[in-house]
Amino acid sequence: MAGNRSTGAVDRATDSTAFERAARAGHVVSGVVHLLIAYLIVRIAVGSSGNADQSGALSEVASKPGGAVALWVAAAAFLAMALWRLAEMVVGQHPGESSGGTDSADGESGDESDWFDRGKALGLAVVYIGFAITAVQFARGSGKSSGEQNAGLSARLMESGLGKAVLVVVGLVIVAVGVYHVYKGASKNFMDDLKTNDSKVIEPLGIVGYIAKGIVLAGAGILVIVAVWTADPSKATGIDGAVKTLGDAPFGKILLFLAAIGIAVYGLYCFVMARFAKM
């Protein structure tokens, strides 16, 4: 009975147009962040310093006039998206598309894909909450490089066998997420998440964007595992580390420009999701 009441409350919340628009704003902010990351990658390619990740992008915003206000707005949008993902975890995927989501009223389902979607929604909620917290930190002037934080945490975990095992698992999970992005782009499955069948522009954006982001994520996960193997926590710096490692490779500058294009295309696809994503 309590479960039915909570599911009903979530259903009513996702019927709110204001809530849906706030959650869609999360896609817009994500698009801006990815475009800024692409810009930072280009800067690194031409020899400038910086962090080509979320913290670097938010730091760039914070340094501009009115940046703090923009970051507070971004934090609110990220939080709204996180709450929407939590709603998807409770009532099923795309709760705004129908009054009851994709499940029965009691919220129970034995379908494996449904449980996968719920687990993915929970994971995305955690990610967006992390984004919101980081945006607030930079808005308040206390933001730090995520690469440095990742390296510091990795160093502490490497002090024990259990910590090393945790890092390897984390690395494998990040690699799996990256591979999933590549698969989603190559298979064009992302079109199932949209309320439009227009494939002339949107489909190429999704293919390039998902594959590019997937490759960068997989590279970041591999570096976490390499960091454990070599006992060098400085390698476990996330996307920024993956980008800079790419730059050190043969033809690194060309690879960085290609990575920047791919991440920028994913940023543009985020704007598509803001308009057409099933919610």
Query: Looking at residue 3, what is its pLDDT?
Result: 53
pTM: 0.84
Q: Is the pLDDT of residue 166 over 60?
A: yes
Q: Kindly state the greatest CA–CA separation across the chain.
A: 62
Q: Provide the β-strand partners of residue 277.
A: 194
- Average pLDDT of 46-67? 88
pLDDT(103) > 50 = no
Whether the CA torsion 98, 102, 104, 108 is positive or negative: it is negative
pLDDT per residue as tens digits for the range 1-27: 555 555 666 666 666 788 889 999 999
**Which residues, in sequence order, are CB contacts of 230 under 8 Å at separation 6+?**
none
Phi, psi of 182 (to 5 degrees): -60, -45
The proportion of the chain whose per-residue pLDDT surpasses 70, expressed as a percent, equals 89
Question: Other CB atoms closer than 10 Å to residue 162's CB: what's the count?
Answer: 9
Residue pair 172/221 in contact by the 8 Å Cβ criterion: yes
Q: How many CA atoms lie within 13 A of 203 on its CB side?
A: 10
- Whether residue 31 is predicted with pLDDT greater than 90 in this model: the reply is yes
Window from 145-159, 220-234, 260-274 with minimum mean pLDDT:
145-159
* pLDDT score of 231 more than 70: yes
Sign of CA dihedral 124, 130, 131, 136: positive
**For the chain, which residues make up each domain, given as ranges?**
1-143, 145-279
> How large is the average pLDDT for residues 163-171?
92
pLDDT in tens, 128-160: 999 999 999 999 988 888 877 888 888 888 888
